[in-house]
Amino acid sequence: MSCKEESVKLTGTVADSLRALPLFQSVGEGELALFTHAARRVEHPKGKVLFIHGEEAFHFYVVVKGWVKLFRETLDGAQAVIDVLTQGHIVGETAVFEGGQYGFSAECVEPVELIMLPTTLLKSAIEGNQRIALNMLGSMSAHRKHQNREIEHLNLQNAPQRIGCFLLRLCPDNPPTNSITLTLPYDKTLIAARLGMKPETFSRALAKLKAETAIEIQGPNVIIHDLQGLVKYTCNYCSSEFPCKEE
Amino acid sequence: MSCKEESVKLTGTVADSLRALPLFQSVGEGELALFTHAARRVEHPKGKVLFIHGEEAFHFYVVVKGWVKLFRETLDGAQAVIDVLTQGHIVGETAVFEGGQYGFSAECVEPVELIMLPTTLLKSAIEGNQRIALNMLGSMSAHRKHQNREIEHLNLQNAPQRIGCFLLRLCPDNPPTNSITLTLPYDKTLIAARLGMKPETFSRALAKLKAETAIEIQGPNVIIHDLQGLVKYTCNYCSSEFPCKEE
């Protein structure tokens, strides 16, 4: 799932949106203008495939609104969901380090607004601009920590705990009370896939989590009646504490 | 597990060893000399803890010989093995992007030879030398792909397939025959932990893999009698093909 720290609010013009990204922090106006001029705002319906694993990568994307699923398919036809990203996340930019090919596929899971940018421009900026290279290193490093945590959870947490963790990441950092209502960001089938669970495993795990921690599901809403109870149930089996600042 | 592509043979002087690392490719002699002069060769026995998660990171390490385990501990006391690295791998360098603290712990799993280097030097080199920043980006990107693959496997492969994948990565890229004998790089308990399995799960999965693919275990040696059979059993449930070039 997305890291809280990486989420960035994008409003206003394309230039405003790009400026708000960690990738362009402290980057000069001239360099930023190259990206702004080359940028195109695009909108896509649910189901639109942005690119396919192995394709030549002409563009990368900034998500302005909606959710984009990153995935790979096995020879056997199964789909592994690598990530599901939303506003403020960049998609496809790592192709510049991977021989100019996308390392996974990307699909819009609902109507999506994006800023589309040429990868050639990013490649030359990284090679010629130390600030952009350093910003890119910072975000790659944050992503690495995020993946380490994910591998840790897949190794050590059971399925109900992984769902608990997904819910806790949707909570504000300093919830005012011990009871809180959340809205799921996308449908349960995709949440199951994102957490690496088959739908039937997800259903059983969710039932167990409800029984153990007294959460309630009402359509797309989740009511956590005892936040501290959920934290105890989930975060004792993790190497960081709630609220999860580390990744 | 380590990617084949990242493995680097380190022989000769400290300067030779550093020069062989992807981090120092195409880096000028003057810059490299700063690292060579600051480097110290160290040897540690099995069980030596190099550093602890959260500690201030004064040093990073290049593994010259032996295996080093990277891990994190949950609040509950369980240990998640993040990686097990050997010759040519760098350990602890990502602390320079993480507020100068180690993001995990590291322990020698056998007698180990290392080159120890100051993180302050790496930090200033990355900030001041575009080549080193780009090399670092390249290796972070390779690592990201490696982690994506690992998450994919944890999500989609069963335990016997994950052991099969571990064995296939120990094979040469173009094995001369369909039968091959391998030596396990470290003990089975650590392999189990590295693959995110409890010892009893690992034993059951290994028994199943033996039954399904006719491999044989003799102490630290594994005899694969039908390599293509093992490839079919394992790699059909992965998004890349044997030999695994992609990560």
Look up the ipTM and state it. 0.86
Q: What is the pLDDT of residues B133-170, one digit of tens each?
A: 999 999 999 888 888 888 889 888 999 999 999 999 99
Residue to test with chain A: of B148, B150, B242, most A Cβ within 10 A: B148
Query: How far is Cα A43 from Cα B195, in angstroms, rounded to an integer?
Result: 41
How near does any CA of chain A get to the CA of B34, in Å? 20
Nearest to B60 by CA among B112, B125, B106: B106
Instruction: Note the helical H segments in chain B.
Output: 14-19, 29-38, 119-128, 130-156, 159-168, 188-194, 199-213, 227-235
Contacts 24+ apart (CB under 8 A), B184-189: B184/B220, B184/B221, B184/B222, B185/B67, B185/B84, B185/B86, B186/B67, B186/B84, B186/B109, B186/B110, B187/B220
Beta carbons of B53 and B102 less than 8 angstroms apart: yes
Whether B232 has its CB under 8 Å from any CB of chain A: the answer is no
* Confidence (pTM): 0.88
Query: How far is Cα B99 from Cα B79, in angstroms, rounded to an integer?
Result: 23
User: Taking phi first (over 0 means left), then psi (-120 to 50 degrees means alpha), and beta for anything else, what does residue B92 get?
Assistant: left
pLDDT-derived band at A10, boundaries 50, 70, 90: confident
**Which chain B residues are closer than 8 Å to A133 by Cβ?**
130, 133-134, 137
pLDDT in tens, chain B (247 residues): 333 434 567 778 999 999 999 999 999 999 999 999 999 999 999 999 999 999 999 999 999 999 999 999 988 888 999 999 999 999 999 999 989 999 999 999 999 999 999 999 999 999 999 999 999 999 999 888 888 888 889 888 999 999 999 999 999 888 889 999 999 999 999 999 999 999 999 999 999 999 999 899 999 999 999 999 999 999 988 888 888 764 4
How near does any CA of chain B get to the CA of A158, in Å? 12
Query: How far is Cα A180 from Cα A175, in angstroms, rounded to an integer?
Result: 8
**Which chain B residues are closer than 8 Å to A75 by Cβ?**
235-239, 241
Q: Count CA within 13 A, CB hemisphere, residue A80.
A: 23
**Which chain A residues are closer than 8 Å to B130 by Cβ?**
127, 130, 133
Look up residue A203 and give its two tokens: 């259903």
Contact between B137 and A237 using a beta-carbon 8 Å cutoff: no
Crossing angle for the helix pair A159-170 and A130-156, to the nearest 10 degrees: 140
Instruction: Tell me which residue has tokens 């039932």.
Output: A207
Contact between B78 and A156 using a beta-carbon 8 Å cutoff: yes
Which one of A53, A235, A239 has the shortest CB-CB distance to B73? A239
Q: What is the pLDDT of residues A13-65, one digit of tens each?
A: 999 999 999 999 999 999 999 999 999 999 999 999 999 999 999 999 999 99
**Which chain B residues are closer than 8 Å to A93 by Cβ?**
none
Query: How far is Cα A50 from Cα A236, in angstroms, rounded to an integer?
Result: 39
- Is A5 a residue whose pLDDT tops 80? no
* All residues at 6 or more sequence positions from B245 whose CB lies less than 8 Å from its CB, including other chains: B5, B173
Crossing angle for the helix pair A199-213 and A227-235, to the nearest 10 degrees: 120
Task: Please state the length of chain A.
Answer: 247
